[in-house]
Structure 1
Amino acid sequence: MAGLNAMKQTLFDKFEIKGYWWIPGKQENQVAGILFFAEDKIHLELIGSLSNDLFSMGNEKYDTIHGFSDKGEQLTLLNVNVKKSVTNAPGFQTQTYSIHSFIVGGYFINEEEIQFHSLSFQPTYLTEWLGRSVFVDTTTLEKDRSSIMGKQVSYNKYDTFNHYVDVLGATIEETYSSNFKADLSEKVLWTNKSGIKIIPNENKDLSWFSTNMYLVKDLLHLFIGHATYFESIVFYGEEVKLEHTDKISRQKYKYFFRQNKSKLREKFHWSDVIVNFRDIENDLNKILNYWFEKHNGLEVVYNLHFDEFYKDMYINTTLLNTVQILEIYHRKMYEGKVYDKKEYRALAKELKQMLNEKFPEAFAKIIGNKVDYGNEYSLSMRIEEILYGFHESTRNLLVGTENDINKFIRQLVETRNYLTHYDSDKKKHILMEPIDKYFAIQRLRAIATLILFKEVGLDETIMIDKICNSNQYSFGLREAKKVLN
């Protein structure tokens, strides 16, 4: 395979980089090898070994490894572990390393010294979600309109959004890139790709950028309603003077890492989203600030909700996780206590004294431990409070009548308890059939989606209408009423 430039590749490409590799500070001990990249796997195969230590051979771990490709690119490999070490006689030694991620464009000694000015990334479906009218098509017809005289396509420059996020101490702005390729006697290809740029007030490390690019991607996922992936990630570093000009630019670094193997939709249109950009354009600054401001408190809720879209799980595990999203959300956002805390502590103390005085020690200890958690809301109380926090019209759309809501809560509680303890005694609302569990999951996901929309300040009435009319949830919510109610 011919050599290629890593800077021109995307996170969806599968490619190989030939080069020489060494431990930082030991460039004289270079070893030839090939770096292999695929979406879900990165590994380095060397003809030889980076270490001369016979006692540690096969157990090596490196924070970074440097490389120089056959195309003249500098690479820094991060979090490197030996997967396999083989010595043949006759023959020669080979080693295979597992790589977490790598940076193209420069050398870094360790992760602690990696600092960047800004980050630009292209997530899937962003261009469609924004729905910008980028290209203008003009057709010229004959006077009698019988045939086409000419056709012209022009590029329509447009305004992009730019918002400062106070809690983040950074600006988040829209970017775009266009690419024109043509064989003017045969074909023309003109493409436009949207991106997001994060510019903090001061240089930040790799961990900071990684956390916040995921948060932006998750917010996009919330609006779109489909799993989204990173297609390209570029960091910008120190300022450099461009050759033969007085212009100043920033050094570019391309970042590659393992992400879940993508499940991209073959065809995607702006109408496939739950909420499009025009719906929230005027509120985007407020939404971004709320989203980052509430991250610390709702991090587990964010993670549980979005992770479900990327992992292949058994339906029982998925149902337990979607129930847990509501349970954790209630713990974080509601009081969740039956009695006033001070009053309950006094009552619990009195009850424990009585237990110790009148019952055997072992029994008193068992009941006393239960008393410690007796003031916590049950799962049914938590779900009920969440659902009755919505407007009545919203409850009707999501679940149905009061009787339907009570039945749904019993189904969730009994099914959760059954899947946890496998005790079905006297339980008549357990969801046993996969189809029942599937539609319960769809209903729970719709509820979680509405909750997150409300947390970023969006109107409940408008958002429930968007959810109920979306390709993602319209069928599931209708069928759930037939199956579960």
Structure 2
Amino acid sequence: MNESFEYKGYWYISSNPNNKIAGILNYQPNNSIRLELFDSFSKSENPIINFLERETIDIIWGITSDAKKISLINCFPSQGKQNLGCEFSLSFYNIQYCLVGIHIDNIDDKRFKSSKILMPLLTTWCYPGAIKKSIQFNKKNVGIKKINVSIDYEENDKPITSVILNDNTILEIKKNVDYNESHYSEKKILEQYTYFKINKKNEVSFKDFIHDIFEFENFISLATLTTVKASNIILIDESQYQMIKSNKIFHPIKLYYKSEEKINNNTSKNDYFLFNYSQINTDFPRIIQKWYSDNFNIIPIKKHLIKSISFTNTFDSLDFLIIVQALEGFHTRFRIQKQMILRQRLQSLIKEFNNIQFINKLKIDIQVVVDSRNYYSHFMNKSEKPKTLDGYELYLITKELRILLICCILNYCGFENEKIEQFLLDSNNRGILNK
């Protein structure tokens, strides 16, 4: 998903396979999936009418010049350069999802049983340790005599951990090694990486996999305190395979989608993370099961938190309001549901985590939060809310409240206050934490 591509081919709707239209599919990572057709699916011979009658299409099928099958899902008509004096019309569509390697009949088509997802930051978060290195020194430990590098291929592709999320879903984190060499090149490339798999007992739609993938992306985003997205998503339809020496080799089906967030897929420093896998390995099954639990009350709160740690070049009052709303919602849904004012809910949460020294040192001014929230949310007269903050001061208190929200989410996942405090103290991420 990190590399752009362009496919030329014929495109059509499954209900009308005889109306194939030449066109170009263009994908720009984290920006757009766009289809340009050199005609229109409309039956009118008038280019102007064709342009005006464009409609959203659920599924468009494609056959590319290199014989790939492509399914484009949720295709929205868009604007493009148009010469109304031309004898044929041009059609443009923005695409939400793209499946390369298969034709599906509808978005709920249950075809897929497993997926393999690469996420570069995952390798740093959960170090694979698949390559072993030993150094042999000369006598008297002066100078290096030999460096041995080895790979145990029996351990390659074995799970680091495997967790049953529900009756139909298993999540695995795996390690792997790639060794590439060319007979004509001096370079020998040896690379180890960590990836995760989602396996299903029964076939599901690609939408179900997207939900599971997004949830894991959000968990790693929290753990690393940065926005993390998959760089490569492969789905497996077990009916799509080739037999090689009595073995089934399944054809990989690649999934692409348009992401709205700014993404950091670069390898970050481990000490910038909130926590890494080695710090929670014994608790990981319990923690990730809780994260995936079907509790719809926590979903919008998690989304607010992930959005708040996303990279942005700007800050405004909406960033502050998102955090306050998430804190208020968390206390309402998981602590006390009866009517309470914002001041009382914030006091309760701060008291709950007050034995965490990191929180205690923040000295959050609750009246400042209440006045600022009422001013920016209810458009009240600023003279009536004298403690209202703006600019850099509002940014600073937003950072403090975000740390409180992080404590709430970690507590929901099952971490004790002592563990939460250790995470906060060990992380050197000054951008998210007030250090």
1:466 corresponds in structure 2 to: 423
1:425 corresponds in structure 2 to: 383
Distance 2:91 2:170 in 1: 44
**Counterpart check, 1:411 vs 2:368:** yes
Distance 1:114 1:311 in 2: 35
Q: CA deviation at 1:15?
A: 1.7
Q: CA deviation at 1:66?
A: 0.9
Q: Secondary structure at the match of 1:52?
A: coil
Q: Secondary structure at the match of 2:92?
A: strand
Letter in 2 for 1:419: Y
Mean CA deviation greater in 179-188 or 260-269 = 260-269
Structure 1 residues 318 and 242, CA gap change in structure 2 (3 angstroms): same
**Counterpart check, 1:451 vs 2:408:** yes
Q: CA deviation at 1:83?
A: 1.4
**Counterpart check, 1:172 vs 2:130:** no
Structure 1 residues 132 and 241, CA gap change in structure 2 (3 angstroms): closer
**Counterpart check, 1:379 vs 2:342:** yes
**Counterpart check, 1:112 vs 2:108:** yes
Q: Secondary structure at the match of 1:106?
A: coil
Structure 1 residues 418 and 279, CA gap change in structure 2 (3 angstroms): same
Structure 1 residues 148 and 389, CA gap change in structure 2 (3 angstroms): closer
Distance 1:419 1:244 in 2: 64
Structure 1 residues 206 and 267, CA gap change in structure 2 (3 angstroms): closer
Unpaired segments ≥5 residues, structure 1: 1-10, 338-375, 479-485
Distance 1:145 1:183 in 2: 35
**Counterpart check, 1:15 vs 2:23:** no
1:47 corresponds in structure 2 to: 38
Aligned residues: 422
Structure 1 residues 148 and 386, CA gap change in structure 2 (3 angstroms): closer
Structure 1 residues 19 and 176, CA gap change in structure 2 (3 angstroms): farther
Q: Secondary structure at the match of 1:203?
A: strand
Does the 8 Å CA contact 1:398/1:477 hold for their aligned counterparts?
A: no
Structure 1 residues 31 and 176, CA gap change in structure 2 (3 angstroms): farther
* Superposition CA RMSD, Å: 2.6
Letter in 2 for 1:454: N
Unpaired segments ≥5 residues, structure 2: none
Structure 1 residues 472 and 232, CA gap change in structure 2 (3 angstroms): same
Deviations 1:156-175 (A, max 9, x none): 43652111123x64111113
2:151 corresponds in structure 1 to: 155
Does the 8 Å CA contact 1:128/1:268 hold for their aligned counterparts?
A: yes
Distance 2:86 2:405 in 1: 62
1:200 corresponds in structure 2 to: 200
Q: CA deviation at 1:191?
A: 1.8
Distance 1:136 1:262 in 2: 35
For 1:62, which of 57, 64, 67 is the aligned residue? 57
Letter in 2 for 1:425: S
Distance 1:144 1:230 in 2: 48
Does the 8 Å CA contact 2:74/2:97 hold for their aligned counterparts?
A: yes
1:101 corresponds in structure 2 to: 97
Mean CA deviation greater in 219-228 or 235-244 = 235-244
Larger CA Rg, structure 1 vs 2: 1
Mean CA deviation greater in 295-304 or 311-320 = 311-320
TM-score with structure 1 length normalisation? 0.80
Q: Secondary structure at the match of 2:268?
A: coil
TM-score with structure 2 length normalisation? 0.89
Distance 2:241 2:255 in 1: 22
Does the 8 Å CA contact 2:165/2:171 hold for their aligned counterparts?
A: yes
Distance 1:51 1:271 in 2: 57
Deviations 1:292-340 (A, max 9, x none): 2263121111111112234746421101111111001111112243xxx
Distance 1:201 1:265 in 2: 30
Distance 2:131 2:262 in 1: 28
Q: CA deviation at 1:393?
A: 2.6
**Counterpart check, 1:123 vs 2:119:** yes
Does the 8 Å CA contact 1:239/1:248 hold for their aligned counterparts?
A: no
**Counterpart check, 1:27 vs 2:17:** yes
Deviations 1:53-72 (A, max 9, x none): 45564422211111111222
Distance 1:472 1:294 in 2: 31
Q: CA deviation at 1:251?
A: 4.1
Matches within 5 A, 1:331-350: 331-337=332-338
**Counterpart check, 1:320 vs 2:321:** yes
Which structure has greater helix proportion?
1
Mean CA deviation greater in 81-90 or 110-119 = 81-90
Structure 1 residues 100 and 311, CA gap change in structure 2 (3 angstroms): farther
Does the 8 Å CA contact 1:414/1:429 hold for their aligned counterparts?
A: yes
Does the 8 Å CA contact 2:121/2:267 hold for their aligned counterparts?
A: no
Letter in 2 for 1:447: L
Distance 1:320 1:451 in 2: 17
**Counterpart check, 1:83 vs 2:78:** yes
Distance 1:80 1:451 in 2: 39
Distance 1:336 1:90 in 2: 63
Distance 1:290 1:178 in 2: 31
Distance 2:257 2:241 in 1: 29
2:237 corresponds in structure 1 to: 237
